[in-house]
Amino acid sequence: MIAFDGGRHTPACFPESRVSWSRQLSLNKPNGESMNSSIGSHTSLSNVVKRSGVLISGLVIAVSASTSAYADPPPGPREYIWSTTDKLLFATSMADFLDAKTRVTDGTYLDWTDNGCSVPGGHGDRPGGFYFGNACVRHDFGYRNYRRQARFSGENRRRIDDNFKNDMYAVCARHRLAIGSACRKWAQSYYAAVRRWG
């Protein structure tokens, strides 16, 4: 970074007491003799910049790194991210899960994207008139984050699928008798589809 002051070009990283851009510079010849050279401001700046290239490059890199870190902070500890994922997926009510999704900001290190109920051969978010959209959203959250966290094993996939079924059954629990039974049949159909195709 160059600071301009009264016609002088002064790099902000060099104190004025150490650099005088138009003064006589005493340079040493290889044989140890001293030679004085009057160096103008532009030439002196060029020489100093060349000789301090590493320092200036380091400053640019440091500034760039700090700016990048501010814009896109590094992920938090793995254990914290994993436990947060598991809590939202398995130990949080659907209402609180959806509330957390609406309050998402950049830098949460979790994938909140979803594509609703895209079960092959399914009927969208509302099969038979029963709304499974939120269950599908949380199911997507589980799949995407477990894959992102490199822990999408067969066992964990089943846990996520079973949780999906439980979320759908929670919807069905609001209905009684034949309507509830019909709802559970749709839930079983959707569960079977994700078990087969994912």
- Interval 137-189: pLDDT, tens: 999 999 999 999 999 999 999 999 999 999 999 999 999 999 999 999 999 99
Same domain, 59 and 104: no
Task: Check residue 145 and give its pLDDT.
Answer: 97
Q: How confident is the model at residue 106 (pLDDT cuts 50, 70, 90)?
A: low
Active site residues: 139
Are 84 and 179 contained in the same domain? Answer: yes
Domain that holds residue 91: 78-197
Same domain, yes or no, for 48 and 84?
A: no
Torsion angle in degrees (nearest 10) through CA of 24, 27, 29, 35: 10
CB atoms within 10 A of CB 31: 5
| Paired sense of beta strands 24-28 and 8-11, if any | unpaired
Query: Which tokens belong to 130?
Result: 């029963």
Q: Tell me how far apart the alpha carbons of residues 195 and 182 are, in angstroms, rounded to a whole number.
A: 20
* 6 and 95 housed in the same domain: no
pTM: 0.61
